[in-house]
Amino acid sequence: MPVRPIICMPDPRLRLVSKPVAKVDDSVRALMDDMLETMYDAPGVGLAAIQVAEATRVVVIDTAKKDDPPAPMFFVNPEITWASTEKNVHEEGCLSIPDYYEEVERPAKVRVKFLDREGAEKEIEADGLLATCIQHEIDHLNGVLFIDHLSRLKRERAIKKFAKAARRATEDRGEGPEKA
């Protein structure tokens, strides 16, 4: 179960709409295992397949508290079937947007339909951190990032910050066109 590299902003692949999984087979389960390993290693509480550069509708989540035993959850083709009108504000971060945190408002409770690790159809109701997390991850499957929920000013500031960091990294590797 190898840890895979996580792609970060401004990688354009983060904006792809991921494709539905046709069948939950061993290759999908192998991807889930890699994703879980990658998420625990990061560490994070949720990961969408596109964050390891696979544009497929697979999400792993573990919102267990630090001292509790691991409680991994697997979602294939997850879909929100109901969202509460009641909202909740949560400080969010993203493994693809390192060291950046902002408060995001989302529905406090959602119902989610999905296929589990064995390909069985399931529906759960989520609240608290799990509700925030599952909405954040389903956004990833649609090419949406949590910064898209911020005010335009905050979003543009974040995008600029990461574009600058990416440029600096390229120059450090001596790959910048200026140095050709």
Catalytically active residues are 137
- Secondary structure string (H, E, C) spanning 59-93: EEECCCCCCCCCCCEEEEEEEEEEECCCEEEEEEE
| Separation CA 75–CA 61 (nearest Å) | 8
* Nearest distance from C-beta of residue 23 to Ni ion, angstroms: 26
Closest residue to Ni ion: CB criterion: 94
* Nearest distance from C-beta of residue 145 to Ni ion, angstroms: 7
DSSP code, position 29: H
- Judged by beta carbon, residue 59 or residue 108, the one nearer Ni ion is 59
* Nearest distance from C-beta of residue 48 to Ni ion, angstroms: 7
- Judged by beta carbon, residue 51 or residue 77, the one nearer Ni ion is 51
140: Cβ contacts below 8 Å, ≥ 6 apart: 14, 18, 48, 50, 51, 59, 96
- Judged by beta carbon, residue 148 or residue 175, the one nearer Ni ion is 148
* Nearest distance from C-beta of residue 36 to Ni ion, angstroms: 15
- Judged by beta carbon, residue 39 or residue 94, the one nearer Ni ion is 94
Contacts to Ni ion by CB under 5 A: 94
Which among 52, 55, 26, 53 is positioned nearest to 41, based on CA atoms?
Answer: 52
Handedness of CA 116, 122, 128, 131 (dihedral sign): positive
| Separation CA 37–CA 2 (nearest Å) | 7
